[in-house]
Structure 1
Amino acid sequence: MRTSLPVVLLAICRVVSVVAEDDLPCSVETSPTQIRLAYWGDHGMAVSWNTKHKLARPTVWYAPDVGNHGNNDSLNKKASSDISVTYPTSSTFNNHVVIDGLAPHSSYLYRPQCGNKTYRFTTARSAGKGPSGLKFAMVGDMGTMGPDGLSTEVGTGAANPLQPGDLNTIQSLLAYAGHYDFVWHVGDIAYADSWLKEEKGGYITPLNKTDNGAVYDRILNEFYDEIEPISRSTPYMVGPGNHEANCDNGSDLSICIPGQLNFTGYRAHWKMPGSFSGGVENFWYSWENGPVHFIQFNTETDFANAPDEPGGEGAENAGPFAPSGAQLAWLEKDLAGVDRKKTPWVIVGGHRPWYVSSSPCIECRDAFEPLFLKYGVDLVLHGHKHFYEREAAVGPLGATIQEIDGNPTLPWYIVNGAGGHYDGLDTPAAHVNTSRKVIVEYGWSLFTVHNCTHLTTQFVASKNGSVLDTATLVKDRKCNVAGWN
């Protein structure tokens, strides 16, 4: 599969728009696809998109949304970069531009280079500032939907197909668009590495193992196309999961060709605020929005006995991505620097859970729980297990359980890996804790930060939008967040 555009093909491309910023004529090869956003502090937004051809100077045109119509004259500001990257086996280039100097919690219109449509985004609230009513959607373990992913049919070894008439999770999130500020996808994105399992199960057309990564690349692109109606208008924050690591989830790494090993696609596609927050790329980083300090941490690599590193139980032979101890050192520094008067809520997300009814990640718990306890983290979000499981406030080592409506001092844990993918849902172990709520259903979580003391979660069934679980965390504290009750 080619990774750059042959000159002869470029010569015959039909011009469909104006001349690009780098004087390369706009064409089907430079048309933006897979448009996506990510917060870059409260004064910025990262805008990313893919093209078939490399761009010399990826450019975004933008303007405040003050009633204009997003025509070429009204978008009179621009931001550019030199980031247009690809990798072996990828059929596209990933373009990333950070727009800076924006006003907090303000609406902007924008258009990526060579695009013919204008989109809108809203920047984050400043730390400690309103307005109130911050909401975000959380999903885990959500893959491609349709013929190459989750549908009403399954192959050998898979289960839990969609029923006719059911909405899938991407459709459900899109139906709720406008009712949350951002989406947080805590690992296992697209499930392109299921291609071999799907072939063996007779679900997709079998190809030999030397297809040069075509099926893997196809499934990735299908997923990114499917979420674009969400991600082009709503920040889509992501974290690493084991299914981002390599092309076949560790079953036979010898068939993974360069470009489909060691989180390559994940690193190239997304632009999370790692460098902005002192973290590392899309692996660990933080951001703030109103009364909440959010942290994405990495349960896959870069700590002792990490499961995806060489010798780990995940057999992915991936990472590390920083010197030994760097992730935990950054995490402690970040937590220690939180101003709890401005951001009284601290919410963290990482892929693998350790308080869960089956196969907990003990190595993850040993690495991260001491810091979460030390700095009073309020809520911990996980995926990885393909069901929904809401815990109580728990710690340390599971020895103490506190109810969430009674001012708990321990972190509250929620596992939601029920986004849905080809392989279906998991069967949780028998309940051993009456404080647990377990639901085996495709769905996602909607969180509402009401004020400084109350935070509510709802588990939304994707198929019909019904709310199957609701719980509220209550803290007895005072804070100084402007514009919040």
Structure 2
Amino acid sequence: GGRRNRGSRPRRMSGLVLLKAKVGDVDGGPELLLASRRHAVLGVARVLFAAANERCLRGMDRAALGRGSFFVGAVANSWRVLMQGLASLMFLCARADEYVRQPPSPLVLTAHDKPAAHPQQVHISTVGRNKMRISWVTDDRNTPSVVEYGESRGNYTASATGDQATYKYFFYESGAIHHVTIGPLAPGTTYHYRCGKAGDELTLRTPPASLPLELVVIGDLGQTRWTASTLAHIGGADYDMLLLPGDLSYADTQQPLWDSFGRLVQPLASARPWMVTEGNHEAEALPVVGFAPFVAYNARWRMPHEESGSASNLYYSFDAAGGAAHVVMLGSYAEFEEGSAQRAWLERDLAGVDRRRTPWLLVLLHAPWYNTNQAHQGEGEAMRAAMEALLYEARVDVVFSGHVHAYERFTRIYDNEADGRGPMYITIGDGGNREGLALKYAIIGRSH
């Protein structure tokens, strides 16, 4: 338990593709060093935000705002693919489109075999500067929504209560879905906790109070053997928080798959904050029979939307690393046009970011705004037209998306032209889902 020494933390970058953007000005865009696999499966991105460099708080062509480096890593889903070496490249678009793997095989998912009051599907998320939300499910609807916690094993010095709810979908009725907010918590600290006074003791670590901040970014996760491989890679890394830009369980109206997904990710999601936004596979709308969209998603994965002034769980924002990073999670499937609630909220949220104390500004959304893959061409265009200018004016650093089951990275860009003041766009859409990789590109050799 207790606080960790950030300076002594080992780096576990083995098996990662590293895109290293050096600090400083480079004509035409950032200088990129690519340590690549020849056939990379890019289902996971791992990001290290180094400490802010006071000498380059903002600039026309700043490659990064950090002392040291900005890393984006993508883990191959096959252990047999070996690192090919290091290449120093100056280029505008990177992608992996040659990898061939076997079709995703389903996992053998076991039912919950514990007592009805035993917590399952435990996951955590950040709430404000120094609090965490603990979410879990019990089959017993009389289990109390309470979390006991402390810095020593078995010694719970604090407790908190919350709320619970259920939902129905055709003949399916969920268990009790509990949400409890705990805190205040110390940053960079390990806590031991127990849910519902009946569960096993679990352990979480709070994010640090300052940079560096290390993130995992995955999209379109699903629950196949490739998903399990992705999760195994993540489990071997030392990181602070996971960001997921949509398409979690691939339940697609089969509600028991939400339960199996929650059990699948619990070992990781109960230990580090998982911050998610919705994808198309979360919608599950059947208006003919009265089922509104995102019912299961909103019930199970409650994010800090109210705390960030949002009226919807489909879009929100939060600070990390003591405010040195601000992360905006947008909703590709909530209204985003001029005059919409989401666009008005985004404008207010970005206006409240002080870039003098927040050098990193990140955005996540599901459907990519820039995409040369044949899959899902143009699906993010309307949202880009409605919102891109706001991101540009706020000088957003990086935009992550999923949806397309491939990896693609654009240099800093605005309105379809390379622009050193625009964000870098990264598609990271294959965490292992059942639909497989998107390997065909519609545009070859385009200078983005």
**Which of the numbers 216, 220, 223 marks the counterpart of 1:144?**
223
Taking the aligned partners of 1:191 and 1:135, their CA distance within structure 2 comes to 27
Whether the 8 Å contact between 2:117 and 2:143 is mirrored in structure 1 is no
- Out of 419-428 and 39-48, give the one that drifted further: 419-428
CA distance in 2, matches of 1:55, 1:379: 44
- Cα distance between partner residues in 2 of 1:285 and 1:55: 31
Q: Given the alignment, which residue of 174, 199, 205 partners 1:91?
A: 174
Alignment of 1:386 onto 2:445: no
Please give the residue correspondences for 1:332-351 in structure 2 after superposition, counting only pairs within 5 Å. Answer: 332-351=347-366
User: Which amino acid counterpart does residue 87 of structure 1 have in structure 2?
Assistant: K
Could you say what the CA RMSD is over the residues aligned between the two structures, in angstroms?
A: 2.2
The ranges of structure 1 where at least 4 consecutive aligned residues each deviate by more than 6 angstroms after the TM superposition are none
Q: Which blocks of at least 5 consecutive residues in structure 2 are unaligned?
A: 1-113
Out of 411, 417, 423, the residue aligned to residue 411 of structure 1 is 423
Say which SS state the counterpart of residue 168 (structure 1) adopts.
helix
Percent of pairs identical after alignment? 31
Map Cα deviations across residues 382-438 of structure 1 (whole Å, 9 max, x no partner): 10101000111111x20x214xxxxx31111001111121121113314445656xx
Secondary structure in 2 aligned to 1:107? strand
Post-superposition Cα deviations, 1:301-337, rounded to whole Å, max 9, x if no partner, equal 21239xxxxxxxxxxxxxxxxxx62111111111011
Provide the residue aligned with 1:286 in structure 2: 317
Q: Is the 8 A contact 1:124 1:288 kept in 2?
A: no
Task: Select the residue among 238, 249, 253 that pairs with 1:190.
Answer: 249
CA distance in 2, matches of 1:263, 1:183: 21
For 2:263, what is the secondary structure of its paired residue?
A: helix
Give the distance between the partners of 1:123 and 1:365, measured in 2 at CA.
Answer: 34
Post-superposition Cα deviations, 1:431-468, rounded to whole Å, max 9, x if no partner, equal 445656xxxxxxxxxxxxxxxxxxxxxxxxxxxxxxxx
Q: Aligned in 2, Cα 1:420/1:435: closer, same or farther, shift over 3 Å?
A: farther
In structure 2, what is the Cα distance between the partners aligned to 1:144 and 1:370? 36
1:91 Cα offset (Å)? 3.4
Equivalent residue runs for 1:62-461 within 5 Å: 62-63=149-150, 65=151, 68=152, 70-71=153-154, 74-88=155-169, 89-126=172-209, 130=210, 132-146=211-225, 168-176=229-237, 179-193=238-252, 216-246=254-284, 253=286, 261-290=292-321, 291-304=324-337, 325-358=340-373, 359-360=377-378, 361-395=380-414, 397-398=415-416, 400-402=417-419, 408-433=420-445
Aligned residue number for residue 445 of structure 1: none
CA distance in 1, matches of 2:445, 2:214: 29
State how far apart, in whole Å, the 1-side matches of 2:372 and 2:348 are: 31
Instruction: Check conservation: 2:332, 2:367, Cα contact below 8 A.
Output: yes
Judging changes above 3 Å, is the alpha-carbon distance between structure 1 residues 79 and 181 closer, same or farther for their aligned structure 2 residues? Answer: same
Letter in 1 for 2:336: F
What per-residue deviation string (whole Å, max 9, x for no partner) do you get for residues 279-315 of structure 1? 134311111112211110111121239xxxxxxxxxx
> What per-residue deviation string (whole Å, max 9, x for no partner) do you get for residues 100-121 of structure 1?
3222333222111143422222
Secondary structure, aligned partner of 1:369: helix
User: When the two structures are superposed, what TM-score results if normalisation uses the length of structure 1?
Assistant: 0.64
CA distance in 2, matches of 1:29, 1:281: 31
Q: Secondary structure at the match of 2:307?
A: coil
Paired letter, 2:115: V
Q: For 1:54, which of 134, 141, 147 is the aligned residue?
A: 141
Tell me, yes or no, if the aligned pair for 1:183 and 1:235 is still in contact at 8 Å. yes
d(CA) in 2 for partners of 1:432 and 1:393?
Answer: 19
Contact persistence 1:299–1:364 (CA under 8 A): yes
Aligned residue pair count: 327
Give the TM-score, by structure 2 length: 0.69
Contact kept, 8 Å, 1:42 with 1:123, in 2: the verdict is: no
Measured in 2, the distance between the counterparts of 1:86 and 1:56 equals 17
Partners of 2:284 and 2:294 within 8 A in 1: yes
For residue 42 of structure 1, the aligned residue among 129, 154, 160 is: 129
Q: Is the 8 A contact 1:391 1:435 kept in 2?
A: no
Question: Does the 8 A contact of 1:141 with 1:384 survive in 2?
Answer: yes
The structural deviation recorded for 1:122 is 2.5
The amino acid that maps onto 1:46 is: R
Q: Note closer, same or farther for the CA distance 1:175–1:93 as it changes in structure 2 (3 Å cut).
A: same
SS at 2:306 equivalent: coil
Contact 1:42 1:103 in 2 (8 A): no
Alignment-mate amino acid for residue 330 of structure 2: F
Contact 1:187 1:350 in 2 (8 A): yes
- In structure 2, C-alpha distance between the alignment counterparts of 1:111 and 1:374, rounded to whole Å: 44
Q: Is the Cα–Cα contact under 8 Å of residues 166 and 173 in structure 2 kept in the other structure?
A: no
Taking the aligned partners of 2:409 and 2:396, their CA distance within structure 1 comes to 16
After TM superposition, give the deviation of residue 182 of structure 1 in Å. Answer: 0.9
| Maintained 8 Å contact 1:121/1:234 | yes
Bigger Rg over Cα: 1
8 A contact 1:42–1:124 mirrored in 2: no
1:14-58 per-residue CA deviation (whole Å, 9 max, x = no partner) reads: xxxxxxxxxxxxx81111000000011221000000011224640
Contact 1:140-1:416 within 8 A present in 2 as well: yes
- Aligned-partner Cα distance in 1 for 2:422–2:157: 49
Give, as a single letter, the amino acid of the residue that structure 2 aligns with 1:376.
Answer: R
Contact 2:121–2:136 (CA under 8 A) maintained in structure 1: yes
Local SS of the residue matching 1:142: coil
- Whole-angstrom distance in 2 between the partners of 1:429 and 1:174: 32
